[in-house]
């Protein structure tokens, strides 16, 4: 683990060294971060137990899990990364899909009436943001859409990659790019709602964004095991599903 990641997780490691704790850490894909705030509040209220959330792109969180980051549950933006963790022995059970995500095209300054995929090829559009497809599933979907609509070759020199969907959102709402691809859940969040205009992308132009979670492996005597299992179960509860639905997930 490099020094930056070591420093990031040092407080968690020190907390673990002081005394056994039931407090768990949820590795959360960036597109789910606002949903997870509400789920965290509901879970803590119902269970009386506390959780911490670490947000990042699914690919980078997977790398951190491989390197021993002290996560207990991984809530990914796809199925590929959780399945990889399972196949490499990081969990005793296969990942489960908790929601289907929705891709949007979003702009700070282009009106909804003028916003379309076709406009991305226009000369007035200089920069288009999308999450890095190397680590972010919504970035993969965005590239698939551009290729399906024969726009990739026309726009590839305009593409600006964010490290995660959260950074991509900052590019868009700051006006540093004319338009960008993002998750509907981010656009509908209290922090972003009403900032700019967006259109949803027809899901037939990209593979379904199936988002899965996985319960990471714990030793039998781990004080976190019971709380982790409890939270993982809560993630698929009626209460959690209602929260996901409010943020545009299917």
Tens of pLDDT along 82-109? 999 999 999 999 999 999 999 999 999 9
- In order of their start, the domains of the chain are 3-9+23-100+209-246 (3.40.190.10), 102-205 (3.40.190.10)
CA 213 vs. chain centroid, Å, equals 11
pLDDT beyond 80 at 197: yes
> What tens digit of pLDDT does each residue of 138-190 get?
999 999 999 999 999 999 999 999 998 999 999 999 999 999 999 999 999 99
CA distance 28 to 211: 11
> What tens digit of pLDDT does each residue of 10-67 get?
555 555 444 456 799 999 999 999 999 999 999 999 999 999 999 999 999 999 999 9
Per-residue pLDDT band at 221 (split at 50, 70, 90): confident
Q: Where are the alpha helices (DSSP H) in the chain?
A: 3-18, 33-47, 58-66, 80-87, 137-148, 152-155, 165-173, 184-187, 225-234, 238-246
Strands 179-183 and 128-131: parallel
Please state the length of the chain.
250
Task: Specify the pLDDT at position 9.
Answer: 58
Q: Return the closest-CA partner of residue 33 out of 82, 81, 77.
A: 77
Sheet holding 128-131, edge to edge: 159-162, 128-131, 179-183, 103-107, 197-200
The residues near 149 (Cβ < 8 Å, ≥ 6 apart) are: 117, 118, 205
User: Is the full-model pTM beyond 0.95?
Assistant: no
Task: Specify the pLDDT at position 8.
Answer: 56
Residue 154 — φ and ψ, nearest 5°?
Answer: -80, -20
pLDDT beyond 90 at 213: yes
pLDDT beyond 70 at 120: yes
Strands 96-101 and 73-75: unpaired
Task: Specify the pLDDT at position 19.
Answer: 46
pLDDT beyond 60 at 122: yes
pLDDT beyond 80 at 7: no
Task: Specify the pLDDT at position 18.
Answer: 40
């Amino acid at each position: 683990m490099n020094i930056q990641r070591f420093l990031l997780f040092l407080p968690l490691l020190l907390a673990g060294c002081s005394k056994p704790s039931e407090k768990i850490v949820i590795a959360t894909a960036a597109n789910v971060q606002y949903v997870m705030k509400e789920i965290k509040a509901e879970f803590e209220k119902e269970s009386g137990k506390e959780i911490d959330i670490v947000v990042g792109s699914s690919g980078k969180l997977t790398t951190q899990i491989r390197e021993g980051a002290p996560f207990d549950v991984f809530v990914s933006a796809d199925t590929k990364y959780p399945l990889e963790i399972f196949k490499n022995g990081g969990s005793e059970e296969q990942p489960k899909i908790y929601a289907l995500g929705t891709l949007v095209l979003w702009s700070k300054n282009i009106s909804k009436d003028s916003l379309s995929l076709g406009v991305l090829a226009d000369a007035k559009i200089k920069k288009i943001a999308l999450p890095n497809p190397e680590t972010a599933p919504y970035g993969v979907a965005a590239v698939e859409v551009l290729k399906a609509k024969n726009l990739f070759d026309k726009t590839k020199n305009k593409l600006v990659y964010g490290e995660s969907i959260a950074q991509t959102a900052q590019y868009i709402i700051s006006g540093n790019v004319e338009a960008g691809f993002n998750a509907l859940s981010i656009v509908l969040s209290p922090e972003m709602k009403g900032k700019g205009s967006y259109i949803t992308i027809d899901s037939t132009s990209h593979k379904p964004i199936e988002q899965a979670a996985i319960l990471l492996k714990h030793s039998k005597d781990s004080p976190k095991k019971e709380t982790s299992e409890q939270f993982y179960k809560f993630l698929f509860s009626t209460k959690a599903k209602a929260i996901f639905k409010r943020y545009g997930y299917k």
